[in-house]
């Protein structure tokens, strides 16, 4: 386990909670949430970073009920919504952690993650805010350390400059190779079969944004 670099500073996005989300946070956190990844077996686990309202995380859990999954999120309404669904739908293969992704990756043992998904992270479009983007060289290095050989990383964004940024960052990191890179026009009625349409994706399409799907594979260590 590596120490956490304290230059990362975060603010929890609390948002406006519904009554159901608030109840779920109060009554279900102890059941489904952990404060440290050391509390679970992370061998060959799947992770979604920034799951938002949890649509794709829950779809993943239902599609692969035997696959242990970890959802990483700081947005309280999203966490509350997921906790409520985990109970109502009797989903037992998802654990939630409410901590920054950089901290979570720093705690993981090497070569533990089978798959990582990051769908529609905040693009921080203004140049002065680019340093706040999740996808940074150091972050990608942490992913490389935590992911198993041949593990898959799936990314999606509706912001073309961010897609270019992502391509540049990964092109400079030899631990990953690109296995899929597609751009779907906003007016297309097609969707990528590897996932459903997220809330942020639908909003981006309404704004006329093309959708960029990228998949990277962790290279095999010698």
The domains found in the chain, sorted by start residue, are 19-218 (3.40.50.150)
The answer to whether 147 and 178 are in contact (CB under 8 A) is no
pTM for the whole structure: 0.88
Q: What is the pLDDT of residue 102?
A: 95
Q: Side-chain half-sphere of 72: how many Cα atoms within 13 Å?
A: 21
Q: What is the pLDDT of residue 202?
A: 59
| Chain mean pLDDT for the chain | 88
CB neighbourhood size of 203 (10 A): 12
Q: What is the pLDDT of residue 221?
A: 83
Q: What is the pLDDT of residue 193?
A: 54
pLDDT under 50: residue ranges of the chain: 1-9
Do strands 69-72 and 176-184 pair parallel, antiparallel, or not at all (unpaired)? unpaired
Task: Kindly list the catalytic residues.
Answer: 122
DSSP per position, 55-96: HHHHHHHHH-TTS-EEEE---HHHHHHHHHHHHHTT--SEEE
CA angle 117, 121, 125 (to 5 degrees): 150
Q: How many angstroms separate the CA atoms of 58 and 167, rounded?
A: 28
Q: What is the pLDDT of residue 180?
A: 94
Q: What is the pLDDT of residue 184?
A: 79
């Amino acid at each position: 386990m590596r120490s956490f670099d304290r230059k990362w500073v975060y603010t929890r996005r609390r948002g406006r909670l519904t009554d159901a989300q608030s109840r779920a946070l109060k009554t279900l956190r102890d059941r489904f949430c952990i404060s440290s990844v050391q509390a679970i077996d992370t061998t060959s686990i799947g992770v979604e970073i920034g799951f938002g309202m949890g649509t794709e995380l829950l779809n993943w859990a239902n599609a692969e009920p035997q696959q242990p999954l970890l959802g990483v999120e700081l947005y309280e309404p999203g966490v509350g919504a997921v906790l409520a669904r985990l109970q109502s739908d009797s989903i037992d293969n998802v654990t939630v952690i409410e901590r920054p992704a950089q901290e979570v990756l720093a705690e993981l043992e090497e070569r533990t993650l089978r798959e990582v998904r990051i769908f529609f992270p905040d693009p921080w479009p203004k140049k002065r805010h680019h340093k706040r983007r999740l996808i940074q060289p150091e972050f990608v290095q942490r992913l490389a350390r935590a992911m198993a050989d041949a593990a898959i990383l799936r990314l999606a964004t509706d912001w073309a400059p961010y897609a270019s940024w992502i391509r540049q960052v990964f092109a400079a990191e030899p631990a990953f190779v690109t296995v899929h890179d597609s751009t779907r026009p906003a007016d297309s009625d097609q969707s990528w079969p590897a996932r459903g349409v997220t809330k942020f994706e639908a909003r981006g399409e309404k704004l006329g944004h093309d959708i960029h799907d990228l998949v990277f594979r962790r290279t095999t260590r010698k």
